Amino acid sequence: MNTLELNHRGFRVVQGSQAFTLVELIVVIVVLAITVSFVLPQFGHIVPTGSVQESTRRLSAFFSQVSRTARSRSEPYRVRYSSLSRTFSMVPETDDNEFEADTDVSMSVPELELNRYVTIRDVQLYHGETLSQGTFFLQVDQRGYLQPAFIHLQEESGRELTLQLDPFLGAVRIRDGYVPLRKELFH
């Protein structure tokens, strides 16, 4: 039975059992665990783990940084990928379509080397070209807009992710699996 009493400060104090029992606490914990077990797989693609996922996150951050740099400097750049060295780097756009070393750019956006267990399977450009070997470039204009493309990454185990480069504001989306480029995905 609950009783009301006044304490030394004049506040009412309820005395009696107002706490949860151990059985009630266990039931709540079990219900929470079951709920989490159903909900967590739905969010697994949002917080990827593993080498291909880590490389995808790092590459996404790299493209965002390139976009911000181009926008802040109001200059066009290119992202150079070399399949031989497995690196992405930001290089200035020049009139003669050749790149030159710019230490100021390379310090603001450091070169990105892929994880050794991850390869670039191919890059599909919006206008239909597919690049897979050698050295190639992706354009970034002075407003920071990325050339629309899909970059397909593959882990040694066979797991694949697709990095979608949207042109507006350097948006980068991560898609699970090998997603072929379809123009309607950009609208």
Q: Where are the domains of the chain?
A: 3-43, 51-186
Residue 94 is predicted with a pLDDT of 72
Each residue's pLDDT tens digit, 55-107: 888 888 898 888 889 889 999 999 999 988 999 999 988 744 444 545 455 55
Share of the chain above pLDDT 70, in %: 73
What's 51-186's CATH class?
alpha beta
Mean pLDDT, to the nearest integer, of 128-137?
A: 87
Each residue's pLDDT tens digit, 18-67: 677 888 889 989 998 888 877 766 555 444 457 888 888 888 889 888 88
Contact 140, 73 (CB under 8 A): no
In order of 35, 44, 63, 69, 147, the CA distances from 38 in angstroms are 5, 11, 33, 41, 38
- Report the 10 Å Cβ neighbour count for 18: 7
Distance CA 76, CA 146 (A): 10
The secondary structure element, H or E, covering residue 75 is: none
